[in-house]
Amino acid sequence: MIHSLFLVNASGDIFLEKHWKSVVSRSVCDYFFEAQERATEPENVPPVIPTPHHYLISVLRHRIYFVAVIQSEVPPLFVIEFLHRVVDTFQDYFGVCTEAAIKDNVVVVYELLEEMLDNGFPLATESNILKELIKPPTILRTMVNTITGSTNVGEQLPTGQLSVVPWRRTGVKYTNNEAYFDVVEEIDAIIDKSGSTITAEIQGVIDACVKLTGMPDLTLSFMNPRLLDDVSFHPCVRFKRWEAERILSFIPPDGNFRLLSYHVSSQNLVAIPVYVKHNITFREGSSQGRFDLTLGPKQTMGKAVESVLVSSQLPRGVLNTNLNPSQGTYTFDPVTKLLTWDVGKINPQKLPSLKGSMSLQAGASKPDENPTINIQFKIQQMAISGLKVNRLDMYGEKYKPFKGIKYMTKAGFIYINWRLLCSSSEWTLAHKNLY
């Protein structure tokens, strides 16, 4: 399956290579570099590249390309999913997944890669098992290791691999038994110029941090499970019980994990919690444009809208901007033409606004494309879909755990599009005027 792996940084250097079968020369990456040169943006490099003897499947994360070399037919998603799992593992181990972190921990990285694949086929990808095999580096442990010469490799051989609950390590012990669940929802919406919603969807996840002794068996039930349109589970969740009773029943892995991802469909029409008033105009023949943007909260059940960030890609003709934010800070990059406004919290009494003028290239005609506006924000203690956890019960162990549930809403992306509001019939009319 996966023959070799090359890690390539943003400037196109290979800084790590690992082979699971016989060695493949790194010159195979030349084909990748060619594709990279052809792509205008780093994201535009095609994920699958054929070469005369191999196939390169790559993912880009944290500005590092993870390039896997494949020799024969394999489902590309298999490789892509695995590479993302590798990145997640690195992030889990080193806190960040940067070139520096990987280079600093090259031995741990190598040990991890060795355990994760055998002859190119995934062997141990569960974080609980890997952590038993190879302990994550911490500053303290690194120091102790240097002084005493002890190692990061677990002395005990792991047992999880052999158990029937492969995602959970055995012999877990805590003095404080806690289980925390974060319900995080992201709204993903496209709004047109007039403010009406084109599409709106909610993507939600329940991330858990479970630190419980022994082999606890948990059940989590919702007040309104029918809301969940489509779900995907961590392998620990018993599918049958969900089917029959709409209850999440599972033996949790130890530590952090994603229990559930769900989707709330656009049929349950979502109210977007913020609104935007905007007026961006360019006048023909003038080298000035006006920019006026105001944000306001809408249906947030009294919860504050925080960490608001507005960004917009202005047309190429815009040379510079002279804007005045009522709060927060704004930046405009004259090269990429990207305007970002870090608004902060929205105060319903005093709505934040960004007003001013844009200077355009002299003599250039009025830009005909209109900028789109992207908005990101967070609302604490509220799940926008209205999803509510009913109760959490534990079986199989005697102690009483501490349980906590937190809700949060994020805008994955609200994207206000300067849609042409003319319908196709108007198109026809415009055409007739031509002659």
Rounded Cα distance, 123 and 113, in Å: 10
If you count them, how many residues does the chain have? 435
Q: Does 284 bind other proteins (CB under 8 A)?
A: no
Q: Does 399 bind other proteins (CB under 8 A)?
A: no
Rounded Cα distance, 217 and 392, in Å: 10
Q: Does 304 bind other proteins (CB under 8 A)?
A: no
Q: Does 58 bind other proteins (CB under 8 A)?
A: yes
43 contacts 62 by C-beta, under 8 angstroms: no
| Burial (Cβ within 10 Å: 0-12, 13-18, ≥19) of residue 336 | exposed
Amino acid identity for residue 372 in this structure: T
| Total number of residues that touch other proteins (CB under 8 A) | 131
Enumerate residues 138-167 that contact other proteins by CB under 8 A.
149, 151-166
| Tokens (6 digits) for 337 | 């033409």
Q: Does 396 bind other proteins (CB under 8 A)?
A: yes
From residue 117, alpha-carbon distances to 112, 113, 121, 267, 326 in Å are: 9, 6, 5, 42, 54
Residues 6+ apart with CB under 8 A from 58: 32, 45, 47, 49, 65, 66, 67, 68, 83
Q: Does 418 bind other proteins (CB under 8 A)?
A: yes
Nearer to other proteins, 18 or 345 (CB): 18
Q: Does 50 bind other proteins (CB under 8 A)?
A: yes
Enumerate residues 188-217 that contact other proteins by CB under 8 A.
188, 190, 198-199, 201, 203, 215, 217
69 contacts 22 by C-beta, under 8 angstroms: no
Q: For residue 45, give the DSSP letter.
A: S
Question: What residues are paired with 190 via a beta bridge?
Answer: 199, 415
Nearer to other proteins, 162 or 271 (CB): 162
Q: Does 281 bind other proteins (CB under 8 A)?
A: no
Q: Does 231 bind other proteins (CB under 8 A)?
A: yes
Enumerate residues 102-131 that contact other proteins by CB under 8 A.
106-107, 109-111, 114, 118-119, 121-123, 125
| Tokens (6 digits) for 121 | 């086929």
Q: Does 137 bind other proteins (CB under 8 A)?
A: no
Enumerate residues 237-266 that contact other proteins by CB under 8 A.
238-241, 243, 249, 258, 261, 263, 266
Cβ of residue 223: shortest distance to other proteins, in angstroms?
19
Q: Does 369 bind other proteins (CB under 8 A)?
A: yes
Pick from 64, 82, 273, 375: which binds other proteins (CB under 8 A)? 82
